[in-house]
Amino acid sequence: MMGFDRTPGRALHFAAHSHHPWPDASFGGHEAAWLDAARLLDRKWDHVFAEVIPAAQAHVARVLHLPDPKTIAFGPNTHSFVVRLLSCFPADRPVRVLTTSSEFMSFARQIARSEEDGSAVVTRVATGPFDTFEARFAEAAAKDDYDLVFFSQVFFDSGFAVHDPAKIVAAVRKPETFIVIDGYHAFMAVPVDVSAIAKRVFYLAGGYKYAMAGEGCCFLHCPPGYGARPRDTGWYAGFEALEGGAAGVGYAKDGSRFLGATFDVSALYRFNAVQDWLESESRSVGQMLEHVRGLERAFLDALDKTKAPIASSMLVVPDETHRGRFLAFRTPRAGEIVEKLLAKNIITDSRGDRLRIGFGIYHTKDDALRLSEALRKF
């Protein structure tokens, strides 16, 4: 099924919230990118724009239930899209931003730097306590006239999943306010349906994590009418007009208005190959999530039956119906546990006092039990 090396002595990988071993299918995609480049030379880009990108757009639209695949732009990382989104706002005043205390660094670092130099005024809502987050964030969104409302669908530092993004979207008063949902820990991890809000929100995610395609395949769903002319713009945003000689800087009306410049397209080939493989195996996001849930339950049950430095009582989000596809344990020993497991060739990671453990479709119940046994021997 997967190219996951189970040779004795090889690492056990439980950082599936961060990086997945690439499926065998991805090799064929990567190889196809090389072969097309060698065969087509400069004409490669005609093929990429005519075949590869539309195929990738169709896969994303299918997973997210988007009505129009052409609203999707691809780029090498999510940070490039964050910068491009910020460039849509007037440069003569600070951007007024509502966000949370738990955004990933691709946004959090950039907006903090903008805040430092006075180009952004930022209001942050704490994600905890989780049971009131959606109501508190929606209330904050309704209180003021923000330029940008930005929040994650699943938070990277806890795994907490927003149950009803549409409720937050409905609370935003100004129709011209940009609403951006960071779906990096939701895309291909949990079932996502943004069809009801597709005309109102930007949706930002990528193929690095749960989509198992590796680096370089990030995307932005761009709702019609929002961000018509980003100041941060690359020549691909005007790709169709390259030979037209039109005056001024032109932009497409579909998602390609948010494209940047030349990038390595091999990630798109890998993404398409992996998605094609998943479809051929009839592996839906929901089915993959249920497989992981079964492993989580087996792991937690075994963990609670033994003496270990973590237990299910330490989960930041104990209710799996409000959790993404990884476990986060709150413990002051998080970093120490990561290092001790690494010494046993077992890979996990931590963020502050939170130990993160993620299972993937390449794991078996035996893998989950081996991890609990390794923790028992601390």
pLDDT for 6 equals 54
Low-confidence stretches of the chain (pLDDT beneath 70): 1-9, 240-247
> How high is the pLDDT of residue 17?
85
All structural domains of the chain with their residue ranges? 25-278, 284-376
> Which residues face 328 on adjacent strands?
356
pLDDT at 2: 46
- Cα gap 216→30, rounded to integer Å: 12
pLDDT of residue 20: 86
Torsion, Cα 288 292 297 303, to 10 degrees, reads 170
Closest CA to 106 of 168, 161, 150, 158: 150
Question: What is the pLDDT, as a whole number, of residue 3?
Answer: 43
What is the spatial distance between Cα 200 and Cα 180, in angstroms, rounded to a whole number? Answer: 9
374: burial class by Cβ within 10 Å (0-12, 13-18, 19+)? middle
pLDDT of amino acid 246 = 55
What is the per-residue pLDDT for 11? 82
Measured CA to CA, the distance from residue 216 to residue 260 in angstroms comes to 13
Do the beta carbons of residue 355 and residue 337 sit within 8 Å? yes
Confirm or reject CATH 3.90.1150.10 for domain 284-376, answering yes or no. Answer: yes
Find the largest Cα–Cα distance for the chain.
Answer: 71
So what's the pLDDT on residue 206? 95
pTM: 0.94
CA dist 95 and 122 (Å) reads 8
Average pLDDT, the chain: 94
Cα separations in angstroms, 28 against 206, 274, 278, 310: 20, 9, 14, 40
Give SS3 for 314: helix
Q: Which fold has domain 25-278?
A: Aspartate Aminotransferase; domain 2 (3.40.640)
Structure tokens at 70: 């052409």
